[in-house]
Structure 1
Amino acid sequence: MTESTRHRRWPAYLMAVLLLGYAVGKAVFAMRSRPGFPSGPPAEGHSFVLSTVTTQWLAAATATIGAGLCVVSAMEVGLKAPRRLMLPALVLLTLSVGAGAAIVVIDGFIGLGLGWHWYHGAVGLVAIGLITAMFRSYLTATRRYVVR
């Protein structure tokens, strides 16, 4: 089987939509001064170093930045950007999304006691698949730009 050198952009765009949805959910909760996430487990009783509003706005901002990074990684400007700049950013994004999604998947299907349900776990599996496909697609597409 031969591997296609065509750059697949759809995983990056879908991951950007997923991250923007997360950012909107966090922004809604920030405006209501509530911890947690819509449809997720309750987060009352947790102590935060920062205020609830600040943590929610920071989560919304970082998700928005991550969505932007996803879109840029699929565009020509991102493919021609220095790999030394894009690769660490995408590794950090992949690890953070993967770690958060893994916790949701494990709690949703096995149960850690956090309160995520099976449908949250299914979304977590989709997120892990999308972020992995996006990262692999970026690596495949930028292989031709690397000087050997």
Structure 2
Amino acid sequence: MNPQKVMKEGILEKRSNGLLQLWKTKRCVLTEDGLRLYEWRRGGAPGGGSAPGGCSRKAKELRFERMATVDCVEHKRGLIYFTVVMNEGKEIDFRCEQDGTAWNAEIALALVRFKNVLAVQTGRNRHLSQLGSTGEDES
């Protein structure tokens, strides 16, 4: 992702894909393009190639262009559980603390903004191509 305005930063837990489906803590950065997930180690690993704050430099990117929706919100024991559904049908489960503005709401709103901008651009391009093909702009 290009350097974008950071809309939210903090900690999320992501359910692993393995057999045990353990919850793993991730340092997350929400931007206008999507969500970056960094490995998180409390206190950082001494000399282990971690960035300041105990998170790795390498990020997994969940780009909005590949996201379909944010679903399945459940409130349980002070946590919010939600699922990010990708265009190819893959589901990624997350949970976060219930206090403050919830991550699921922030991600969903950013996704809607992204899709709205994309729809406006697509409509504008379609309109301009129709004007060009009908010759209406030759006055």
Bigger RCO of structures 1 and 2 (CA < 8 A, at least 6 apart): 1
Same fold per TM (> 0.5)? no
**Structure (1/2) with the larger helix percentage:** 1
**TM-score, scaled to structure 2:** 0.37
Q: TM-score, normalised by structure 1?
A: 0.35
